[in-house]
A and B are shown apart, each in its own frame.
Chain A
Amino acid sequence: MIRVTDLAVSYGAVEALRGVSFEAETGSVTAVIGANGAGKTTLLRTISGLVRPKAGAVDLDGTHLVGMRPEDIARHGIGHVPEGRGVIEEFTIEENLRLGALHGKQSLKAGLEDQFDLFPVLGERRRQPAGTLSGGERQMLAMARALIAKPIVLLLDEPSLGLAPIVTADLMRTVRELCESRNLTVILVEQDAMSALKVSERAVVLHVGRVAAYDTSDVVAADDDLRRYYLGIAQ
């Protein structure tokens, strides 16, 4: 389980997160939703150590992550697929995956087989530069690269960005299956609030850096005020 307690982050005078607290249960999907500028990406970047919080704590199964370097947090089992996917375009698909597997808990061969089973298209194009992949394929590669290290927690930042609805639906289905089959904990940041609520057990609604709501996804999805005021979804 990953627990975030009273997290506060500032960029100079601007407070990006204030008193953010929530828990993500092992083997569950927790959606983090909210309007642009709500602090969703900052939250993920703080969990993975790219941003130093002003106050608060992040605990992964009893290990305090705040203050650790991102590379050490990654080695503790936090996989982060950043906004924009972050695939290395100059590298082939296989090189991207090799990089992900370097500090993982399984052999490269087993890891590659595992990921090519999950995303067969990557296996067919393993020697192709990542820069030539489509948006959906890049998202698959970014996820596979994070998963090959066998993380305990997977942070997904806007996986649906720029993807066709059908591709997004496939990705969300894959996320759901990963949680169930591998007991993976997923924290999913999404602009597309309804997609995220459908796939998740719990949801954190962020509004200008504060937690506006934290409940089961069904409750959040059914709350008309939350939908209208914080998520911009008309009834």
Chain B
Amino acid sequence: MDAFFTSRAISDLLVGLVSGVSIGLVALSLVLIWRSTHILNFAQGAMATFAAYCGMSLLSYHVGFWWCFVVAIVAGFLLGGVTERVLVRPLYGKPEINPIVVMVGFLFLLESLIGAIWGTGIRAIPIPFSFIDWQLNGKTVVLSPVDVFVIIGAGVVTVCIAALFRYTNLGLQLRASAVAPEVSRLLGVRVSRMLTLGWILSSGVGVIAAILFACSGGYGAGLQPSMMEAPFAIAFIAAAVGGLDSPVGALFAGIAFGILQSFVDDYMNLNYSLMIMLGVLVAVLMVRPQGIFTKPVARRV
């Protein structure tokens, strides 16, 4: 049994799972925005990083990690809301290229801003969990308390988002505004408020994902201005493979890609993982252009 838990395959699986849940969260945040506004938020990673910096910069003033975490999430909410109201709202109904250009520009602006305010070096985060992997009868299991924190954190966020959408009136209005904005308005739903809320939620999820990445050290321990570029690229592929309209698909595809990357990095070559993911993307889009998890709507004929 010990040999099983410390085997190479299980180690790869655990490493992949830890990075996969965070990728899944970023993919989920992309899907939340896509479903409500049909905009691919290329600045999602940078927005999350900026908000994470805002919160974690308070560490310099001896504020505790958890308070910094909360402030980062609130900063994410604010940034998401302001971005939608100021930057995105004028783009509704405009040609599809406009939001792409604006959000890519916003991505570079935010990354530059982070560098200008906090510097471009790695900013360490004193995470209140150990990085040291557990031992099983003298052998290392590639799982540490911080990894468990990342997995549980991502799980809690996912369950909260799912419950919000499935069981609450707010979730019902958010879903309705996304799929049928005009009908929703005729039923008294304040759709523009729901769109802003969608961005707020998405931005909050993105910040949590960014902090979990920073904690797991998967892409460099601590915060860096461009730390979310690679996770964003993978999350984007995952969201497209899972289905841009499917939060569940984005999550599963994110986890699957995290695990795939871990195995490819270990058994093949570090340079192959992105190439293989893109290959999967092309293959899936050729067979199911809407993504694996986006179901065609059932109709009576």
Contact = CB atoms under 8 A, between A and B. Distances in A.
Chain A contact residues (Cβ within 8 angstroms of B): what range? 20 to 34
Interface stretch (A9-17, A96-104, A109-117, A162-170): A96-104
Given A91-B176, A98-B172, A129-B298, A86 B183 contact: yes
Interface in A70-98: 70-71, 74-75, 79-80, 82, 86, 88-91, 95, 98
Interface SS of chain B: helix
Interface string B170-195: 00110110011011111111110000
Given A71-B191, A88-B179, A129-B298, A48 B186 contact: yes
Given A71-B190, A74-B185, A74-B187, A99 B299 contact: no
Given A102-B169, A129-B298, A88 B190 contact: no
A103 B185 contact: no
Contact of A69 (B169, B185, B187, B299): B185
**Most chain A CB within a 10 A radius of its CB, from B176, B188, B189, B297:** B188
Given A74-B188, A98-B169, A82 B183 contact: yes
Contacts of B175: 90-91
A145 interface: yes
A133 B299 CA distance: 7
Interface in A29-74: 48-50, 69-71, 74
A48 B184 CA distance: 12
Contact of B186 (A82, A95, A102): A82
A131 B297 contact: yes
Interface string A136-156: 000000000110010000000
A86 B182 contact: yes
A143 to B, nearest CB: 13
Interface string B245-260: 0000000000000000
A134 interface: yes
B300 A88 contact: no
Nearest to B166: A95
B185 A99 contact: no
A132 interface: yes
Interface of B: 169, 172-173, 175-176, 179-180, 182-191, 297-300
Q: List 4 tightest A-B contacts by C-beta distance, closest first.
A: A103-B188, A74-B188, A86-B183, A70-B185
18 contacts: A50-B185, A50-B186, A71-B191, A74-B185, A74-B188, A75-B188, A86-B182, A88-B183, A90-B179, A91-B176, A98-B169, A98-B172, A102-B173, A102-B189, A103-B188, A103-B189, A131-B299, A149-B188
